[in-house]
């Protein structure tokens, strides 16, 4: 709601990364709840913490503990109208969507990192650990896992590279970014799981890196749009690009 040269924000948003440590946030808020279509009633503001803008308690989570996660609370928070991004109401959704392609490529690249780390850890361990008189990497069952993991990691890397190149050329890449995000983060999840199994009992120990990869990987499938949503975005865009 506008009040003179300020806007007054009320509401909450949970699961905000660095919500506790962060001081300044980009906030998407409804400035015209009656607007049709509804996304035209949203605006984005740069908001600094202060009176009326606080963070709730730290949310405990499975992994990704290097960043804090918290709920942000707005209680009659007054933000100067000068902090309206773009200087015009109703452009907030446009601003947010504009960052999604890059955000998804970013998460996809992190997926490649986890998929690759899991592969590296598993490959190293499989050459060191011996059972039945030979390193486990010489057992066919382990080779099948490593072969799949290596292929997934490389395919994920190529999808991310493809999306990033299209983005850098300034072309539309929602489908390619969605493919990269979906595939690379599922690759991270699957490779982390397989690396844990290759480590046997030690995969369950906090003394080995694979335990952390196993806890970190699922978030990549959820954040920046769940992988269910990515597949729908890919399909819609694919259909649009291939009319009957």
Ligand X SMILES: Cc1cc2nc3c(=O)[nH]c(=O)nc-3n(C[C@H](O)[C@H](O)[C@H](O)COP(=O)(O)OP(=O)(O)OC[C@H]3O[C@@H](n4cnc5c(N)ncnc54)[C@H](O)[C@@H]3O)c2cc1C
**Cβ neighbours of residue 207 closer than 8 Å, sequence gap 6 or more:** none
3-state class (DSSP) for residue 236: helix
Helices 174-198 and 100-128 pack at an angle, to 10 degrees, of: 20
Q: How far is CA 205 from CA 51, 174, 201, 212, in A?
A: 45, 39, 7, 10
Q: How far is CA 101 from CA 75, 164, 166, in A?
A: 32, 9, 11
Smaller CB distance to ligand X: residue 49 or 129? 49
Least separation in angstroms between residue 94's CB and ligand X is: 17
Smaller CB distance to ligand X: residue 163 or 219? 219
Least separation in angstroms between residue 228's CB and ligand X is: 3
Query: Which among 74, 73, 72, 2 is positioned nearest to 31, based on CA atoms?
Result: 2
Least separation in angstroms between residue 71's CB and ligand X is: 11
Residues that bind ligand X (CB under 6 A): 15-17, 61, 64, 69, 219, 222-223, 225-226, 228-229
Q: How far is CA 186 from CA 64, 161, 166, 179, in A?
A: 16, 17, 22, 11
Smaller CB distance to ligand X: residue 135 or 218? 218
Residues in the chain: 244
Cα gap 42→225, rounded to integer Å? 19
Query: Which among 127, 133, 135, 111 is positioned nearest to 188, based on CA atoms?
Result: 111
Least separation in angstroms between residue 64's CB and ligand X is: 6
Cα gap 85→26, rounded to integer Å? 9
Residues annotated as catalytic (active site), given as ranges? 224
Least separation in angstroms between residue 224's CB and ligand X is: 6
Q: Confirm if 176 and 166 have CB atoms less than 8 A apart.
A: yes
């Amino acid at each position: 709601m506008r009040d003179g040269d300020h806007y007054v924000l009320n509401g909450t948003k949970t699961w905000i990364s660095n919500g506790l440590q962060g001081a300044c946030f980009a906030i998407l808020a409804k400035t015209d709840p009656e607007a049709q279509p509804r996304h035209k009633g949203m605006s984005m503001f740069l908001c600094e913490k202060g009176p009326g803008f606080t963070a709730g308690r730290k949310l405990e989570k499975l992994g990704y503990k290097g960043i804090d996660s918290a709920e942000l609370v707005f209680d009659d928070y007054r933000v100067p109208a000068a902090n309206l991004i773009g200087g015009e109401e109703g452009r907030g959704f446009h601003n947010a969507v504009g960052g999604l392609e890059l955000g998804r490529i970013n998460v996809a690249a992190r997926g490649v990192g986890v998929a690759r780390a899991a592969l590296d850890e598993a490959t190293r361990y499989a050459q060191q650990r011996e059972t039945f008189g030979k390193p486990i990497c010489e057992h066919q069952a382990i080779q099948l896992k490593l072969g799949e993991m290596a292929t997934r990691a490389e395919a994920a890397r190529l999808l991310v590279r493809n999306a990033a190149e299209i983005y850098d050329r300034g072309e539309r890449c929602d489908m390619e970014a969605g493919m990269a995000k979906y595939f690379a983060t599922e690759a991270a999840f699957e490779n982390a799981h397989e690396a844990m199994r290759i480590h046997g009992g030690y995969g369950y120990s906090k003394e080995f890196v694979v335990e952390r990869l196993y806890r970190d990987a699922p978030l990549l499938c959820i954040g920046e749009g769940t992988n269910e949503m990515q597949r729908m975005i890919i399909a819609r865009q694919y259909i649009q690009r291939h009319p009957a």
